[in-house]
């Protein structure tokens, strides 16, 4: 009881440290599981991360539309943990992955805290938090597309999974630029075309002679282009230089896909 009472008296940052430490320990332990057990353990860690974040921020979330705030922490924890199955089963790789997971999760919790507070009042760190959130979003999409492709599912299943994941990621990615419940319809109207476009590309790539890594790089690059242009449009910063920056990323993604496809030549 004393431990719980002390825990409730901690500051938000201290609570984040405690939660990240416990989840990191669970993440490290999950590295010794395989197959369905690992998937279930990953799902459990993801739910715990979201529940913990909500409990810590619940006072700031009382008067805001907070649901998109929980999307990225859940998908980050789930994707990072499942991705362990795709890396060599060696202690050094597990230790490095655990360290990266802890740093990423702590950074993510801090950014979500900034978004929760920013939905009530304006703070100066909002722009930096958006950049960190977008970088983590890109990493999560890369991991998840790689995982889905590596599972060797029937060709018609991965596009639907990736389309849903892209929709959820884009909803949270756009929400952090609006932070207002009144813009929910606008967020959905932006997210649906992007997720449908990625769905179509994912369907084509299931029949394309390409490896999982190139598959992930291409879809992540296209998502970066679409989502980045949406952010620039919302911020009214869609200038020529910014436009070409995202277009070149799209062209580079297509170039990598064409060059590194296994045409059997």
Model confidence at 206: pLDDT above 90? no
d(CA 86, CA 239): 40
Give how far the C-alpha of residue 202 lies from the chain's centroid of Cα atoms, to the nearest Å: 18
pTM listed for this prediction = 0.89
Model confidence at 86: pLDDT above 70? yes
User: Does residue 97 form part of some domain?
Assistant: yes
User: Does residue 265 form part of some domain?
Assistant: no
Model confidence at 175: pLDDT above 80? yes
pLDDT of amino acid 193: 87
125 is in which domain, residue-wise?
2-260
Model confidence at 1: pLDDT above 50? no
Q: Given pLDDT bands bounded at 50, 70 and 90, which one contains residue 120?
A: low
Q: What tokens does 151 get?
A: 């599972």
Model confidence at 225: pLDDT above 70? yes
Higher local confidence (pLDDT), 181 or 18:
18
pLDDT of amino acid 3: 46
d(CA 178, CA 86): 36
pLDDT one-digit tens code per residue, 242-260: 888 888 998 998 898 888 8
User: Does residue 118 form part of some domain?
Assistant: yes
Q: What is the mean pLDDT of residues 151-171?
A: 88
Q: Output 51-59 pairs: Cβ under 8 A, ≥24 positions apart.
A: 52/19, 52/23, 53/19, 53/109, 53/112, 56/12, 56/15, 56/16, 56/19, 56/109, 56/113, 57/12, 57/112, 57/113, 57/116
Q: What is the mean pLDDT of residues 61-66?
A: 69
pLDDT one-digit tens code per residue, 207-223: 888 888 888 899 999 99
pLDDT of amino acid 29: 92
How many structural domains does the chain have? 1
Share of the chain above pLDDT 70, in %: 90
Model confidence at 166: pLDDT above 60? yes
Q: What is the mean pLDDT of residues 131-137?
A: 91
pLDDT of amino acid 261: 78
Model confidence at 139: pLDDT above 90? yes
pLDDT one-digit tens code per residue, 7-43: 556 778 888 899 999 999 999 998 888 888 888 999 9
Q: Where are the alpha helices (DSSP H) in 151-211?
A: 158-178, 184-205
pLDDT of amino acid 241: 80
């Amino acid at each position: 009881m004393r431990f719980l009472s002390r825990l409730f008296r901690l500051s938000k940052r201290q609570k984040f440290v405690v939660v990240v430490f416990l989840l990191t320990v669970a993440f490290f332990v999950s590295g010794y599981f395989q197959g369905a057990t690992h998937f279930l353990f990953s799902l459990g860690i993801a739910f715990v991360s979201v529940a913990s974040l909500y409990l810590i921020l619940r006072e700031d979330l009382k008067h805001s539309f907070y649901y998109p705030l929980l999307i990225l922490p859940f998908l980050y924890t789930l994707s990072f943990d499942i991705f362990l199955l795709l890396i060599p089963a060696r202690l050094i790789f597990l230790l490095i992955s655990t360290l990266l997971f802890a740093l990423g999760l702590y950074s993510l919790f801090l950014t979500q805290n900034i978004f929760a507070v920013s939905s009530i009042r304006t703070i100066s760190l909002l722009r930096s938090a958006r950049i960190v959130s977008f970088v983590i979003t890109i990493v999560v999409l890369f991991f998840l597309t790689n995982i889905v492709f590596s599972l060797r599912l029937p060709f018609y299943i991965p596009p639907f999974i990736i389309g849903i994941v892209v929709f959820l990621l884009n909803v949270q990615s756009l929400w952090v630029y609006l932070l207002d419940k009144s813009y929910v319809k606008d967020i959905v109207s932006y997210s649906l075309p992007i997720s449908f476009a990625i769905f179509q590309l994912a369907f084509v790539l299931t029949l394309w002679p390409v490896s999982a890594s190139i598959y992930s790089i291409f879809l992540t690059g296209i998502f970066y282009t679409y989502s980045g242009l949406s952010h620039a449009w919302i911020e009214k910063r869609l200038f020529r230089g910014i436009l070409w920056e995202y277009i070149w990323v799209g062209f580079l993604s297509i170039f990598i896909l064409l060059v590194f496809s296994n045409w059997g030549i």
